[in-house]
Amino acid sequence: MPVVLLSDLHVDNAQNMSFVRELCSQTRNEAIIVAGDISHNFNLVEETLKLLSSSYRRVFFVAGNHELWVQGSQRGTGTAPSSIEKLNELSSICETYGVFDRPHRLGSVLVVPILSWYDLSLEVPAVADLFEGFERWPWTDFRKCAWPSELEDEYPCLGNRYPSGVGLSFEAKNDKMLKEAVEDMKEVETTAVLTYSHFLPGTFALPDWLKPESDVFDPAWFNHPAAQLSAKFSRVAGSSSIEKQLRRLTPYADEHLHCFGHSHRPKDFYRKGVRYVHHPLGKPKERKMFLSPVNPLTKTVFDHRGQQVPAPTCVRYWESMMKGSDPLAGYK
């Protein structure tokens, strides 16, 4: 069956929720990958997954950072004791509505989620001055998530605690699933593997990394008014461990596609034999500024025959829309 992508739905926004309701107003003979950030509000996540599962033949989901906020984001007006407990409750909701948060086959295409978090491994090098004031940067996760103390380290950020160990904890959780996926691919013909995470799998997926094939960042790529924001974002963007995990599956399929979310900056490119795609809904302001897709639609990546649907390379979306660096002026 065809497979479509979407991430960063942020249905807290009424316009975005209207889009989702319209999307689900008809039965769709497709599978949809939702790469995180439906909402921080548990009830809205549940409503959205219910809508999607009533419309699409298969729904795949992995939690993003917003789903794991626990301050005022749980059922009703209560709060979950921790982000880990909220994650477990989200998994229960997926089971209730038949949403996959574990590997599942679509014929010869194996779909595999990679639960993840960020660490400091994607920090942009050679631009130390742009990190000035990071300890005051109002990244909401630092206030809204609640992690066991052993998964955090003292660090100059808001609240002075950085979740360094969360990604490692999730990697350990993924290990058995990835081993089982490898064994499955050894036994069953697999024309393609589709992995998906919310967070970015490497520095090459950062919004301003203009040459995905390169391992070296050129500071000249920060040729826009929001360079400091972009640099700070790299500290909460993703983890190189995601790339390490997804590459465990690459040798066992003819093709490998990895989709991700989080940055709200569309991508579609190949690197070392793997295709990477980010297709966010984003926020209305970002769509007006040509930072996220102007026309909010899902993106088809596999057709009904299980073959990849090609698309033009996209590295920096607003430039492909011929808008130069002007859109980022509002994000200084």
DSSP assignment of 286-308: HHHTTSS-SS---EEEE-TTS-B
Query: What is the rounded distance in angstroms from the CA atom of residue 332 to the CA atom of residue 230?
Result: 9
**pLDDT score at 60:** 98
- Token pair of 7, please? 């991430």
Mean pLDDT, range 299-318, rounded to an integer = 95
DSSP 136: G
What is the pLDDT at residue 329? 56
The model's pLDDT over 252-302, given as tens digits with 9 standing for 90+, comes to 999 999 999 999 999 999 999 999 999 999 999 999 999 999 988 999 999
- When pLDDT is averaged across residues 316-325 and rounded to a whole number, the result is 75
The answer for residues whose C-beta is within 8 angstroms of residue 237's C-beta and 6 or more apart is 118, 122, 199, 200, 205, 206, 262, 263
CA 75 from chain centre, in angstroms, equals 24
Q: Is pLDDT at 250 greater than 80 in this prediction?
A: yes
Average pLDDT of the chain, as a whole number: 93
Per the model's pLDDT, the better-predicted residue between 324 and 158 turns out to be 158
Percent of the chain with pLDDT over 90: 88
Give the mean pLDDT of 1-5: 97
CA geometry: angle 23, 27, 31, nearest 5 deg: 80
Whether pLDDT at 249 is above 50: yes
Instruction: pLDDT band for 75, please (50, 70, 90 cuts).
Output: very low
pLDDT band (50, 70, 90) for residue 74: very low
Average pLDDT over residues 29-49: 97
